Amino acid sequence: MGKFVYVLLAFSVIDLVISIWVPEQSLQTMLALKVQICVGQSALVFLVFALLKKPVPMLMAEAFAPALRNLKGQNAQGYIRVWQQVSTVWVIAFVAKAIVFQFSDGFSEVSFALINTLAGWPLHIGLVYFAIAYSRNKFEQLDFAVRL
């Protein structure tokens, strides 16, 4: 998790610098661009960590439920494959979010704010719920002894 936190910290500093230098008349366009950059960075981080066989949803789940680490010993490849599938869904959601904001120039300020809000914490809560439900279902199919 340490490397993941440092990557996100670096991206946050970049976002902060961009936010400080944006003129007010370009704020909505810049906010849409900032969302696209953040989503692109998130998707990239998820892809890289998945390729390293350390999918981000797995790392987060193991941080909150350390008992999950015991499942790796039962079937490491199956365990990681489930988390890579979850990670793929998260990447697709982030890319879809970026596409929506790519076309946000025609949105009114109210529409932009509403879409930005819905694509924020509600999307993340939905992705977390999906990760829990999907991984639990897959672990049962793989006959993992899931006891959290």
Q: Tens digit of pLDDT for each residue in 10-21?
A: 767 776 676 677
Distance between CA atoms of residues 12 and 6, nearest Å: 10
Q: Mean pLDDT across the stretch 12-36?
A: 71
pLDDT for 146: 58
Distance between CA atoms of residues 104 and 20, nearest Å: 21
Distance between CA atoms of residues 118 and 101, nearest Å: 12
Q: What is the mean pLDDT of the chain?
A: 82
DSSP annotation of 75 reads -
Distance between CA atoms of residues 82 and 119, nearest Å: 25
pLDDT at 148 over 60: no
User: 124 or 11: which carries more pLDDT confidence?
Assistant: 124
What are the tens digits of pLDDT across the range 49-104?
988 999 999 998 998 888 888 888 778 889 999 999 999 999 999 888 888 877 77
* Main-chain phi, psi angles of 107, to 5 degrees: -80, 145
